[in-house]
Amino acid sequence: MADPVIVLGAGMVGVCTALHLRQRGHAVTLVDRRGPGRETSYGNAGIIQREAVEPYAFPRDWAMLARVALKRGADVNYHLGALPALAGPLGRYWWHSRPASHQRIARSYARLIEHCLGEHHALIERSGAQDLVRREGFRDAFREADSMRQAVADARRVADGYGVRYAVLDSEALAQAEPALRRRLAGAIHWLDPWSVNDPGELVARYAALLGQSGGRVLRGDAGTLRQAGAGWRVRTDEGEIDAPHAVVALGPWSDGLLRPLGYRYPLFVKRGYHRHYSGGEPPRLPMLDADGGLVIVPMRQGVRVTTGAEFARVDAPPTPVQVPRAHALASELFDLPQAVEAQPWMGSRPCTADMLPVIGAAPRHRGLWFNFGHAHQGFTLGPVSGRLLAELLGGESPVVDPRPYAPARFG
């Protein structure tokens, strides 16, 4: 009989970890202070990014850095007061983003990304979530001819190196593919492999329901109550205290808060992001990244979701949605988006590591404690394969990919 396990955090990563553990015979209790998929895994752009073999690097060209510093666009904002605490992790992020280092990291990242479609497919089928998923890719669109030229060169390099598929659309082809587009753009890269989900939070909820049907428990509780108890771990939930020999931390952007009291100082930070839905106009047919504008426009069940880029701030600092009206103005140049659906924008936080790789594996100094967090811009994509990898490591199985690049011990 496999050991019981407590999984802390019911975002995409925690739910998939719990499912994979349950599939291997563990008694699993998934604990979250909210329902499954209500935080970052709810409000993202919903793209299962098979093309994202290269993680998002720190920008290294001065024009871009100047734009960031001046907070001009919809792509980046920051809280001045948060910068002293962020300086260390961001400095390391910048260092790891040197081209040679980034290429090395990308090779490790790509090994996980390669499995995203297969692993999601299995869970989509088992949870009956086919109605939420479109398998037609998405488009990176460009306003400027120079950015389009660069994008074509980058797409060719990535396709040659990693075997992802794409098509180049010139201005005319893009206008035909997206009849609701209000103005001419320079063109687009249509990534053909990715899938898009029209309600990301609902996909996580379906996966969590599958966990329940398979005999796993989903409980409300505060991960902050986690304590060592005997040879294992104990957490307090609404249904009393739960004990297990193993506990997995899958708290996404809140993982650092649990780790610090245990003595782990990882170079973690968050890139917050906002979205708002709009109705009343004709939506795009496929999700579109407005690369020069720094936003994503996605048709969702709730309306057209416009997501912003990154905001560097403390995870729980009050929202400062200054990028949202900028993103709406830019998005409205492309599509008719007359009515905001919600009174207030949604905010979430991408859980980032300085070396752009997630943290998956055994805690270096605590027996029975396991980590699965830090999936940054692609946690929705990577949840299923990361969950599988963690479950395999915990059970001593041969893992789906070499786990060493993601080992928690790599930070020393």
Binding site for ligand FAD (CB under 6 A): 9-14, 31-34, 38-41, 44-47, 49, 222-224, 250-254, 273, 275, 307, 348, 350-351, 373, 375-381
CA–CA gap between residue 175 and residue 182 (Å, rounded):
9
Nearer to ligand FAD, 139 or 377 (CB): 377
Work out how close the CB of 258 gets to ligand FAD at its nearest, in angstroms, rounded to a whole number: 7
Work out how close the CB of 397 gets to ligand FAD at its nearest, in angstroms, rounded to a whole number: 22
* Neighbour tally for 81: CB within 10 Å: 10
Nearer to ligand FAD, 34 or 182 (CB): 34
Q: Are 228 and 366 in contact (CB under 8 A)?
A: yes
CA–CA gap between residue 277 and residue 304 (Å, rounded):
5
Nearer to ligand FAD, 16 or 151 (CB): 16
Beta bridge partners of 31: 8, 219
Nearer to ligand FAD, 176 or 225 (CB): 225
CA–CA gap between residue 136 and residue 179 (Å, rounded):
17
Work out how close the CB of 369 gets to ligand FAD at its nearest, in angstroms, rounded to a whole number: 15
Closest to 204 measured CA to CA, from 38, 351, 382, 360: 38
CA–CA gap between residue 104 and residue 107 (Å, rounded):
5
Nearer to ligand FAD, 142 or 195 (CB): 195
Work out how close the CB of 172 gets to ligand FAD at its nearest, in angstroms, rounded to a whole number: 28
CA–CA gap between residue 332 and residue 186 (Å, rounded):
17
Nearer to ligand FAD, 39 or 392 (CB): 39
Closest to 214 measured CA to CA, from 9, 24, 2, 34: 24
Beta bridge partners of 257: none
Q: What is the DSSP letter of 33?
A: S
Question: Helices marked H in 128-170 — which ranges?
Answer: 145-162
Work out how close the CB of 254 gets to ligand FAD at its nearest, in angstroms, rounded to a whole number: 4
Work out how close the CB of 103 gets to ligand FAD at its nearest, in angstroms, rounded to a whole number: 21
